[in-house]
């Protein structure tokens, strides 16, 4: 059996790191099992779905390294859903209901008052054709519910009906269909709720595994019943925990919180995002993973905990820094060129600075330092200015080798008697303008003698 998974986002906003999580889980599962990954836009809400969001989602998952086998749009498949509706109606499994939201709320409250479960009582099944016609004449339009198979003799006498599945993440699960209301599949205006198109598409596209957030666990029993009503095959389900902030707040794509696009623009490495999204809330250590293949090899659905996965956005910086420190020049050559970092010394420059930056784009700041042709005014304390003047007088002549820093500082040490921090810190400030950064032994050959002398105040 070929594993086929899907990621089905609604293009009603930009996806954030929490939305990216199920995309990554499905992609890694497909990679691990040499399967297929389908990007399927849940764009049946025509008014709220936007092409710009769909394009952004495609761009974001591509940046993360997710490569769909194919792309589908639910908005192009209404005829398929219409056919499924007719099939369910013909089987007596989809029935018309005319209650208003207010009436349903009142009945729910009445059941709670009588200490009964707040489930729909299937009153619409008792309606005669005349009563339905009267509602229609009144201007009411029907919404349609799926009749759950939780009874024997009569649908008004439900009995415990267990649906079981072995969840990829949570292990054996059981849901009692008698504990829930018949789900609405079609609204009064004829539009479809999420469930029907999702199930129909999963059947038509041969989806073998559905990996999604655990907020869908309670829906699974009813969805399995719909699968069985329409098909002989039910996919394997896996429900992972949801990603929240450290304070436990959920993420919203409408608020733009940690959107994948904003992380990309901020210079975060895609594997830093993937590592954090996948490993947070699991029994695995949160650490930078260099490649998607390596992450796929480590990915085990059952490693996710059953509680929400709390993460700190600050973790991204540490993961990003660690990944950058191991990037070779060939990995970043094009990105450095876009920053203006080119030429004979570009490779040596990258080797010198990569261990001291949080993002690749930060290299541009050090490129300016290396190529600066004027002093860092006021960087050196007044009491060190005479020392710096004497040190510059001792600057060795060209040509310079890679040991020039050692040669120079030993000469300065011998002439001034300074050592340790009192020797090195003033020199660092004079050469770079800041008190920390890459090793000066690596930077000085790149700065060169002429540019070094130009920094003499």
Q: Report which of 205, 235, 192, 209 is spatially closest to residue 71, judged by C-alpha positions.
A: 205
CA atoms within 13 A on the CB side of 81: 21
**Dihedral sign from CA coordinates of 441, 443, 449, 451:** negative
Task: Give Cβ neighbours of residue 86 (< 8 Å, ≥ 6 apart).
Answer: none
Both tokens of residue 403? 């040991």
- CA–CA dist 419, 412 (Å, integer): 9
Is residue 275 within 8 A of residue 286, CB to CB? The reply is: yes
253 appears as a binding residue in the annotation: yes
Burial class (CB in 10 A: 0-12, 13-18, 19+), 195: middle
Burial class (CB in 10 A: 0-12, 13-18, 19+), 263: buried
- CA–CA dist 134, 199 (Å, integer): 33
Q: Report which of 387, 402, 410, 391 is spatially closest to residue 444, judged by C-alpha positions.
A: 402
- CA–CA dist 50, 12 (Å, integer): 6
- In the three-class reduction of DSSP (H, G, I as helix; E, B as strand; rest coil), residue 244 is classed as strand
Look up tokens 């050592």; give the residue: 419
204 Cα distance to chain centroid: 27
End-to-end CA gap in the chain? 73
Binding positions for ATP are 253
Binding positions are 253
């Amino acid at each position: 059996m070929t594993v086929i998974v899907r990621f089905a986002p609604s293009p009603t906003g930009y996806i954030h790191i929490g939305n990216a999580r199920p995309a990554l889980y499905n992609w890694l599962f497909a990679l691990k099992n040499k399967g297929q990954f389908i990007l399927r836009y849940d764009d049946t809400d025509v008014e709220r779905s936007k092409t710009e969001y769909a394009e952004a989602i495609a761009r974001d998952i591509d940046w993360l390294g997710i490569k769909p086998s194919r792309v589908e749009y639910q908005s192009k498949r209404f005829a398929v859903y219409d056919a499924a509706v007719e099939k369910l109606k013909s089987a007596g499994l989809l029935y018309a209901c005319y209650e208003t939201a207010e009436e349903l709320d009142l009945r729910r409250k009445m059941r709670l008052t009588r200490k009964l479960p707040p489930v729909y009582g299937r009153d619409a099944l008792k309606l005669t054709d005349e009563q339905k016609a009267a509602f229609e004449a009144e201007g009411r339009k029907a919404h349609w519910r799926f009749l759950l198979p939780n009874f024997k003799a009569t649908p008004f006498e439900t009995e415990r009906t267990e649906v079981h599945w072995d969840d990829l993440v949570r292990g054996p699960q059981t849901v009692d269909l008698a504990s829930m209301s018949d789900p609405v599949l079609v609204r009064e205006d004829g539009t479809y709720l999420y469930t029907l198109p999702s199930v129909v598409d999963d059947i038509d596209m041969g989806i073998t595994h559905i990996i999604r957030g655990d907020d869908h666990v309670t829906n699974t029993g009813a969805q399995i019943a719909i699968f069985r009503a329409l098909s002989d095959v039910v996919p394997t389900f896996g429900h992972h925990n949801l990603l929240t902030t450290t304070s436990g707040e959920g993420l919203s794509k409408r608020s733009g919180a940690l959107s994948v696009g904003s992380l990309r623009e901020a210079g975060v490495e895609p594997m830093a995002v993937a590592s954090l999204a996948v490993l947070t809330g699991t029994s695995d250590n949160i650490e930078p993973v260099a490649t998607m293949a390596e992450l796929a090899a480590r990915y085990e659905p059952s490693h996710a905990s059953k509680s929400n996965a709390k993460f700190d956005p600050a973790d991204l910086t540490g993961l990003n820094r660690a990944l950058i420190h191991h990037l070779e020049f060939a990995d970043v050559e094009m990105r450095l060129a876009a920053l203006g970092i080119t030429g004979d010394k570009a490779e040596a420059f990258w080797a010198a600075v990569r261990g001291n930056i949080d993002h690749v784009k930060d290299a541009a700041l050090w490129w300016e330092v290396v190529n600066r042709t004027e002093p860092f005014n006021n960087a050196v304390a007044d009491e060190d200015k005479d020392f710096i003047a004497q040190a510059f007088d001792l600057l060795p002549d060209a040509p310079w080798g890679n040991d020039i820093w050692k040669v120079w500082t030993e000469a300065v040490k011998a002439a001034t008697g300074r050592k340790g921090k009192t020797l090195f810190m003033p020199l660092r400030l004079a050469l770079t303008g800041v008190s920390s950064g890459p090793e000066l032994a690596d930077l000085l050959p790149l700065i060169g003698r002429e540019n070094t002398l130009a920094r003499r105040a």
